[in-house]
Structure 1
Amino acid sequence: MRISCIQMNMKLANVDYNFAHAQNLIREAVATEQPDVVVLPETWNIGFFPKDNLTALCDNNGERTKQELGSLAKELNINIVAGSVGNRRENKIYNTAVVFDREGLCIAEYDKIHLFTPLGEHNYFSWGNHISTFKLDGVICGIVICYDIRFPELARTLALQGTDVVFAVAQWPSVRITHINVLAEARAIENQMFFAFTNSCGTAGEIKYGGNSALINPWGKVLVRAGLQEEIITAELDLSIIADIRSSINVFRDRQPTTYKLD
């Protein structure tokens, strides 16, 4: 599986610009990198996150995202993990990840479970309450959004459901970029899966985002890492190594779940 992560610099609260820019970057990635999957970062449609006029800025039940990026996936014959979008649904606002297959069908939606309370995300967005797995070209995949990665139970749950590739989409600030680099590598190692981390870059309000998007294999090896500016990174994932890793160090067999108390 060949994956391109689009480290996008979006404009805060400028939805039309962000939609056009995202689509241009997807077209560039497909033309230059020939990936099987392209990935966008968190809340690329609005940035993270405008408090003024937020309801009006958010997508209405993902309709625009599904129309424009679903059509693009079909046109380009590409799988699109459309990061996440600010999404208005049933009089609530969610931070929602959306995934499209090569036919342009929306095959998965995931509402961010762990909202970032230090910035007050929970005061504007509603909490998600389900995980999401899906297949891209026959490969079982999962998705987490930014702060989710600090909660190892979520990644482990995805692993126990047979996930081989996790897409982690984010708006992770530069001041804590060391944290996400370590966490993404740790989640890949401890769950023996590939991690495709796609961050944003640039500045929104007073927050500078840290880039450093990366594709990481189950040994924790960074196959490719981005810098601080807008760019597209690509790597080929050799999924055949997963079985050998999981058999040689079988952490799933050696788990002792009856002794863990996580409630």
Structure 2
Amino acid sequence: MAKVIKTAACQFPVSADISANLDWMISFIQQAGEKDCDVVHFPECCLSGYASVDFKTWKNFDWDLLHDSAERVAQAAKENNIYVIYGTSRQNETGDKPYNSLIVIDKAGNTVSVYDKCFCTPKGIAFYQPGTQFVKYEINGIVCSSLICYDLRFPEVYRKLKSMGVECIFQSFYNARQRKASVHTDIMRQTMQCRAATNYFWVSMTNSSAPISPYPSAFIRPDGKIAAQLQFDTPGMMINKIDTSLEFYDASGPYRQTAMNGRLNNA
């Protein structure tokens, strides 16, 4: 029996203005709900804004407003009968730096997964505490996981998730507000294509559309092909289907487990 997730990947100009971010999100949640999508997926830190780029210090950060806004996102998920996957900053119970997190809200408005970014950039680690645990959860019977931006630089992470039985990755990015074009245009989507193809993952990747953003949100099949993508520096939503009944080219498939078991030849 086919397992299908109808996804809506959304991008908008994420900023330090939590209320403005929330307005974008609520609008897209409603639009995705009207299209009978199962999941709406947003970028990294899309609700809170991204520390080090959108704001330079946690001093006077409005945590109460962020908390209230997160409750409104959960309510919108329930009202529109849709999963919401979104990025935000999350206070650390130990009093250390906050986490850079990806939250999964189910159709009833409940939090079903919280992933704290395990690999923070050298710049980002001054503002965020790295997480230590990977996550998996099911949507419509498909095993999914969440990752964030810089995680893609570490192929070991994806092998770990493959060993956990993950079939689909929702990965949120924040590469935006750059002063000029960068090499990320030529390497980030391409690296994500590699992660998809070498592990046979479906991938939804979302990015902020604030200019200059070096790449747009994209939807990638398990063979690594970009099946759809949004426009550069432009807010938008695209709808795609993850369908596990479809079969794609999987070059490493016959020997992937052999390599994962530590034998690096197929003699």
Q: Output the TM-score relative to the length of structure 1.
A: 0.86
Cα deviation for residue 96 of structure 1 reads 0.8
Q: Is residue 232 of structure 1 aligned with residue 237 of structure 2?
A: yes
Correspondence for 2:25 among 22, 25, 33: 22
The 1:58–1:237 alpha-carbon spacing in structure 2 relative to 1, beyond 3 Å, is: farther
- Matching residue of 1:109: 114
Cα deviation for residue 140 of structure 1 reads 0.6
- Matching residue of 1:195: 203
1:59–1:85 contact (8 Å) kept in structure 2: no
Aligned residue pair count = 250
RMSD between superposed Cα atoms in Å: 2.3
The 1:56–1:251 alpha-carbon spacing in structure 2 relative to 1, beyond 3 Å, is: farther
2:120–2:130 contact (8 Å) kept in structure 1: yes
Runs of 4 or more, structure 1, over 4 Å off, are 244-248
Map residues 1-263 of structure 1 onto 2, 5 A cutoff. Answer: 1-11=5-15, 13-31=16-34, 33-49=35-51, 50-54=54-58, 56-57=60-61, 59=63, 63-64=67-68, 66-82=70-86, 84-90=87-93, 91-92=95-96, 93-117=98-122, 120-173=123-176, 175=182, 176-203=184-211, 208-228=212-232, 229-241=234-246, 249-255=253-259, 257-258=261-262
Unaligned runs of 5+ in 2: none
The 1:55–1:157 alpha-carbon spacing in structure 2 relative to 1, beyond 3 Å, is: farther
The structure with the largest strand share of the pair is 1
Tell me: higher relative CO, structure 1 or 2? Use CA pairs within 8 A at least 6 residues apart. Answer: 2
- Residue identity in the other structure for 1:102: K
Unaligned runs of 5+ in 1: none
Cα deviation for residue 136 of structure 1 reads 1.3
CA distance in 2, matches of 1:74, 1:234: 20
Cα deviation for residue 246 of structure 1 reads 6.3
Cα deviation for residue 105 of structure 1 reads 1.1
Cα deviation for residue 245 of structure 1 reads 5.7
- Residues 99-147 of structure 1: per-residue CA shift (max 9 Å, x gap): 0111111000011011111xx2111111111111111122110011000
1:3–1:35 contact (8 Å) kept in structure 2: yes
CA distance in 2, matches of 1:240, 1:126: 39
The 1:55–1:130 alpha-carbon spacing in structure 2 relative to 1, beyond 3 Å, is: farther
CA distance in 2, matches of 1:132, 1:37: 17
